[in-house]
A and B are shown apart, each in its own frame.
Chain A
């Protein structure tokens, strides 16, 4: 008994740091937000119970819904651009290409850069007036664009996000590709299957489980990402790049009093809950559909 207890105590001691941190930094804030979404609380002074007021406000807050729409555009654009390019690169770099290890390193490099630094560098490149890109376009005799203006700011954000994400997904695809047995390709080759045929009939189906995980990660990260946008455009101009988590960030940690709303913990908590539900629902729907497709396929 004593020995058993000792054995358990040791185990609990080992896991206690992560349990304490999870409770303090994960569970407690969620419970805290669950409470405050029923209150009018500005971060100081007394919190006033307002019942469902913050939830009613969610439905009439057109800026929130604009931000949610922008998030779908951003996430859709990012995934459409990132995943095919990452897969293509992974397939190419999985072959017997000279210098492939160096290229893998180069493509992966953006993943290890700080998002804020990356955004500042891209600001210098995309800056409309004297940015590098427009200077190059001018030199080539092509028309320049307001890359960070209302019309193109979202496209620019998507391009930058894709640049930052491709290396990471390429690596995941590479791991998946290396799990496909070589003899399957060899048999296909003996049967006369071309490169494209091998890709569609072997690579894609056999990547299935990895693809599922990559898609899920891509969906979640695209829906939750806002850091680069915050540094690059601050959600502007005129809300053109305001994504839902940036909107939430401004509610909870307002940058200045004239900028967006002042601190509103109560409403912010309700928004946080809504956004968590949206991300959860989309991920859940994706998992459900992918499982259904797998069932059909098998």
Chain B
């Protein structure tokens, strides 16, 4: 039976992004992390590549250690709700962290002509 799920859609999407951009550098944990990141809905606020947006900060290449990252996810008291180990197990959180650290670096802004024009006037 065809199962209609957003995670399926997003998983495929993220997997393709992942393989397109960072296949060589990715390890197994990071690959799994893309799927877990998708399934857990992290993209909702932090976007598909962890770049952030209005609803959540950039988390790709977070400067936090895994321990600090985990502590924040489990105990957040701010805009982000805390996610317990029951709904995001430690093993999944580790994979998410690995995925976020494996996302390819964005291009340098000075190499993007469209971003030079926006402040040229």
The reply to whether chain A is a binding partner of chain B is no
Q: Which residues of B contact A (CB under 8 A)?
A: none
